[in-house]
Chains A and B, each alone.
Chain A
């Protein structure tokens, strides 16, 4: 009796399994913002070709680790939506596949293609770029500062610890090396240099060089004066925006919703230029993060996946829609930008940006750079903090 019951269950399950196998399916992992759009485009693709597109939604913070875990267990999706700094780790682990888009590469900005390539191999189909910039309250600061001295003057005049009111705020906890980078880069700091082939040279680290320390000293003088609050994390920054506790923020498009919630008349411009030790007038560079669609190396339907990406995602309609819902400027050249004002304004700073290095050694940069910010916040001298960071990065990477 028990045996027949088990047999019946087995046959039923087997039938369902075989039935499910009959339909070709492409699985995509995406975050909550992009999933609805991808499902729509996927439905169009299914109508045209009969291939099912299944989009599985994950919270942004888990997308990368879920993809890695699932793909290693060979249960992963065919396509995943991610950022360009994933490339190094995923390629090192053999989890993504290079794609050949042939002549279509002319449709994308060369910086975007570069950000997703290692050597000649392109590892993702880019669709958007994001960078931080200076977002300011036009009612408090009608004319944004163009130089750092102007910014300091505004900050000093506005600073009031009781309200509290600050001139400038940006996230500066140990998890925010990304926001801190413009301070280092203005006078000449950089992350990794390039070798003769144009590849990142992990042994050429510029986090603790003269220019970087000059910028860090500038930061320290500001926090000593109290002009910038220390230890500001994401939640605190959102609270400060919505509470109108600061005139200017160095942050990215992800915070625009907070400005809109507080009905602030905001403007976006580039970060003021810092006069370097040699008197040169340098506009700080920020990290440019590119977003794209990766192809899994364990996918069994790579041809269909690439076909879907090239013919249904890489179209002006889809790219424009992605830009609208994601609030990030597109890197697809034939697309007509739809929310020009804000997104083009981020491009002011975007012209002064460097792609986030995607090699796995970047992990130690985030770690040690963050620690250095922590130490400076607690009182260590910037030259020691970033000098140590540079040494630790070199030793973690295994350089001489």
Chain B
């Protein structure tokens, strides 16, 4: 091995080694801390993902064979966490009935219902004194209204015996002290209230529970879960509830809130395809989404390319100045420019309509008429995207060798022939993937649609919240969060999955086509 090469490697590696150890150490300690917190909170999915992520990182950095992967690794980790995981989760949710009223898991709901108690009519009320020992274990002395005293110690309830030497009574008959414990009084009681609240001391078929700051009452559990038949018995009313469609329902139709999430298979999908009205909405929104993406890309590309061709001419003076000015729409944050455009296009008070009515005496229903609203949106999107198209065209134009133009001029080709025989095909090779990317971006451009029109104006006869300018993604959002009975996340996930397949197919077809374009160069 060339000695100079080895020397460089070694001197680099001391600094590199230190850097590796320190950063790996920091990441590992954060990983351990995170893993411990997650374990405490029983979030096992996230815990597994964290361990996998940090473990892979360690393996790649420390193992010689996997070392080349280190450049790909951050990208892969984020890809897995932010793309693959939500994707799989959405797939899963689309097969469930996740919506308002069915958000929790069955275990959580059963747990919640198990914690529901009711006060029977003959309930007894207890005053109490709390005691704690050095190990922070609690003991209670409960005095019933009939004078009987109960002691709760080491998780057992026993009736207090006056002759018990461990107990000290005062004149009124209340317990003042328990041996080995100190009384908890005054403000200190507030510190233990949450532990008292969590207690449910069984006494016969009743449970003694904290009711207010100063009392215990005897409650009964409201529900009994019959595991064999998977039913709930309401002990207060005697009704039997069976699990139907994610909610416990009695024979007379009353349901227990909350319900829980269940697997419903392809029901969400059959709702989308089966219901004729939803299908109609779907088709209408789909067609508009395709047209919207097509027109946005087409017009912005034409404008961008035209400007790029103009700016490419070396004879034009102040080229740099024009280019900078034309970049402004792209550089401004979309949130600001979209809202400003919406204000300007306002039908009654926007500056455009005010100027029109001053100069021409007409007002145009920019955002309230379905077709005008669509045109306005395309216009705003073209305004926002043409600088990007101009930049990439400028870049791609540089890659076309001048000799081709010279040769064409010698052959007598005019400007238009030169453009569409040489410039356009060669541009397409490099730009087609970017155009497909822009198409996919416009297909899912929720921000602009939402800020300017929120999908409105409304369409007469729509079965779902689908307005005239709704694209698939904003329609999904409205179904998810502004739907009939609150959030309908299962249905929205199903539609999202369908959108994913559609965009994926269109992109795949597009990439296939661009591969054919490469023939042109040869």
Which A positions have Cβ atoms within 8 angstroms of B? 1-2, 5-6, 9-10, 13-14, 17, 23-24, 48-51, 72, 74, 89, 91-95, 164, 174-175, 229-232, 235-236, 239-240, 297, 300-304, 306-307, 360-361, 363-364, 366-367, 370-372, 374-375, 377-378, 380, 384-385, 388, 392, 395-398
Q: Does B287 contact A (CB under 8 A)?
A: no
Chain B contacts for A302, CB-based, 8 A: 197
A303 shortest CB reach to chain B, Å: 5
With the chains together, A367 CA to B488 CA distance in Å? Answer: 14
A360-B101 CB under 8 A given contacts A5-B25, A377-B368, A378-B368: yes
CB-CB contacts of B478-507 with A at 8 A, as 1s and 0s?
100011111000000000000000000000
- For residue B194, CB closer than 8 A to chain A, the reply is yes
Chain B residues lying within 8 Å of A303, measured Cβ to Cβ, are 193-194, 196-197, 210, 212-213
| B461 at the binding interface (Cβ < 8 Å) | yes
Q: Complex formed: what's the CA distance from A385 to B25 in Å?
A: 65
Which of B235-243, B344-352, B430-438 binds A?
B344-352
Q: Which residue of A lies closest to B33 (CB)?
A: A13
B5 on interface, CB distance cutoff 8 Å? no
Q: List the B side residues contacting A89 at CB < 8 Å.
A: 100, 486
Contact B486 A24 (CB under 8 A): no
The 9 closest A-B pairs by CB, nearest first: A396-B484, A94-B258, A371-B458, A92-B101, A9-B29, A374-B458, A364-B484, A6-B29, A360-B486
Is B257 touching A378 in the complex (CB atoms < 8 A)? no
CB <8 Å contact, A9 and B21: no
* Residue of A10, A371, A375 touching B465 (CB-CB under 8 A): A371
Contact in complex: B368, A231 (CB < 8 Å): yes
From 342 to 360 in chain B, residues with beta carbon under 8 angstroms from any chain A beta carbon are: 343, 346-349
B residues less than 8 Å from A175 (CB atoms)? 454
How distant is the Cα of A1 from the Cα of B28 in the complex, in angstroms? 12
Please indicate the chain A residues that have their CB under 8 angstroms from the CB of B425 in the complex. none
Give the most central of A94, A175, A363, A377: most B CB within 10 Å: A94
In whole angstroms, what is the CA distance A360 to B483 when docked? Answer: 10
**Is B365 an interface residue when CB atoms closer than 8 A count as contact?**
yes
Q: List 25 A-B contacts (CB under 8 A).
A: A2-B28, A14-B36, A24-B191, A24-B194, A72-B104, A92-B259, A94-B104, A174-B456, A230-B347, A236-B348, A239-B349, A300-B197, A302-B197, A304-B193, A306-B212, A307-B213, A360-B485, A363-B484, A366-B482, A370-B458, A378-B368, A378-B369, A378-B457, A388-B460, A392-B462
Given A6-B32, A72-B103, the answer on whether A375 and B460 have CB atoms closer than 8 Å is: yes
Q: Tell whether B463 is near chain A: CB-to-CB under 8 Å.
A: yes
A226 nearest in chain B by CB position = B348
| With A89-B100, A300-B198, A307-B213: A49-B187 Cβ-Cβ less than 8 Å | yes
Docked Cα-Cα span, A329 to B224, in Å, equals: 44
Q: Are B348 and A231 in contact, with the CB atoms below 8 A?
A: yes
Task: Say yes or no for B227: interface residue by CB 8 A criterion.
Answer: no
CB neighbours (8 Å) of B349 from chain A are 164, 229, 236, 239-240
Contact of B190 among A50, A231, A385 (CB under 8 A): A50
* Chain B 108-125: CB-based contact to A (< 8 A → 1; otherwise 0): 110010000000000000
User: What CA separation (Å) do A172 and B484 show in the bound complex?
Assistant: 22
B349 to chain A, nearest CB (A): 6
Provide the residues of chain A in CB contact with B458, threshold 8 Å.
Answer: 174, 370-372, 374-375, 378
Q: How far is the CB of A250 from chain B (nearest CB, A)?
A: 17
A360 to B108, CA, bound (A): 21
CA distance A372 to B465 in the complex (A): 12
Whether a CB of chain A sits under 8 angstroms from the CB of B428 is: no
**B24 at the A interface (CB under 8 A):** yes
Q: Is B305 an interface residue (CB 8 A)?
A: no
Are B188 and A24 closer than 8 Å at their CB atoms? no
A238 to chain B, nearest CB (A): 12
What does the 1/0 interface line of B439-469 toward A look like (CB < 8 Å)?
0000000000000001011101111010100
User: In the complex, A371→B213 CA distance in Å?
Assistant: 50
- Chain B at the A interface: SS class: loop
Contacts of A231 in B (CB 8 A): 346-348, 367-368
Measured CB to CB, the residues of B under 8 A from A are 21, 24-25, 28-29, 32-33, 36-37, 41, 100-101, 103-104, 108-109, 112, 187-188, 190-191, 193-194, 196-198, 210, 212-213, 257-259, 343, 346-349, 365, 367-369, 454, 456-458, 460-463, 465, 467, 478, 482-486
Residue of B nearest to A304 (CB): B193
> With A9-B33, A360-B100 in contact, is A397–B190 under 8 Å at CB?
no
Give CA–CA (A236, B353) in the complex, Å.
Answer: 15
* Pair A10/B33 contact, Cβ less than 8 Å: yes
A368 shortest CB reach to chain B, Å: 8
A361 touches B213 (CB 8 A): no
Given A72-B104, A230-B348, residue A397 in contact with residue B460 (CB < 8 A): no
Q: Are B456 and A50 in contact (CB under 8 A)?
A: no
Q: Decide: A363 near B29, CB < 8 A? Known: A89-B100, A94-B104, A300-B197.
A: no
Closest to A49 in B: B190
Is there an interface contact between B21 and A2, defined as CB atoms closer than 8 Å?
A: yes
> In the complex where A89-B100, A374-B457 touch, is A50 in contact with B187 (Cβ < 8 A)?
yes
Chain A nearest CB from B481 CB (Å) reads: 9
User: Inside 8 A of B257's CB, which chain A residues have their CB?
Assistant: 91-92, 94
Q: Bound complex: CA of A226 vs CA of B24, how far in Å?
A: 69
Inside 8 A of B197's CB, which chain A residues have their CB? 300-303
The complex places the Cα of A280 from the Cα of B194 at a distance, in Å, of 58
B258 — which chain A residues lie within 8 A by C-beta?
Answer: 91-95
Residues of chain A contacted by B482 (CB below 8 angstroms): 363, 366-367
Do B100 and A93 touch across chains, with their CB atoms under 8 A apart?
A: yes
Query: In the complex, which residues of chain B have a beta carbon less than 8 angstroms from the beta carbon of A235?
Result: 343
Give the complex CA separation of A94 and B467 in angstroms.
32
A70–chain B nearest beta-carbon distance, Å = 13
- The complex places the Cα of A95 from the Cα of B103 at a distance, in Å, of 10
A301 and B369 form a contact (CB under 8 A)? no
B472 CB to nearest A CB, Å: 18
> In the assembled complex, which residues on chain B have CB atoms less than 8 Å from the CB atom of A2?
21, 24-25, 28
**Which residues from chain A contact B478 at a C-beta distance below 8 Å?**
367
Q: Which residues of A contact B198 (CB under 8 A)?
A: 300
Instruction: Point out the residues of chain B lying under 8 angstroms from A395, CB to CB.
Output: 463
From A6, A92, A174, A380, contact of B25 by CB (8 A): A6
The interface residues of chain B lying within 8 Å CB-to-CB of A397 are 484-485
Closest to B357 in A: A161
Look across to chain A and name the residue whose beta carbon is closest to the beta carbon of B343: A235
Hey, which chain B residues are within 8 Å of A372, CB to CB? 458
Q: What's the Cα separation between A367 and B368 when bound, in Å?
A: 17
Q: Is the CB of A378 within 8 A of B210?
A: no
CB < 8 Å: which of B29, B36, B101, B191 contacts A5?
Answer: B29
* Residue contact B460 to A385, C-beta cutoff 8 Å: yes
Smallest CB–CB gap between B461 and chain A, Å? 7
Q: In the assembly, what is the distance between CA of A10 and CA of B212, in Å?
A: 39
Q: Is the CB of A92 within 8 A of B21?
A: no
- Determine the residue in chain B with the shortest Cβ distance to A47: B187
Cross-chain contact B112 with A297 (CB below 8 angstroms): yes
Closest to B115 in A: A297
Give complex CA distance A371, B458 in Å. Answer: 5
Q: How far is the CA of A110 from the CA of B198 in the complex (A)?
A: 32
Contact of A363 among B108, B343, B485 (CB under 8 A): B485
Partner of B483, one of A10, A300, A370, A396: A396
Chain A residues with CB under 8 Å of B33's CB are: 9-10, 13
Contact A378 B191 (CB under 8 A): no
Chain B residues with Cβ below 8 Å from A371 are: 456, 458, 462, 465, 467
Contacts of A92 in B (CB 8 A): 100-101, 257-259, 486
Given the complex, which residues of A lie within 8 Å of B108, measured CB to CB? 94
| Structural contact, B29 and A51, CB atoms closer than 8 A | no
Are A301 and B29 in touch, CB under 8 angstroms? no
CA distance A231 to B198 in the complex (A): 53
List the B side residues contacting A364 at CB < 8 Å: 483-485
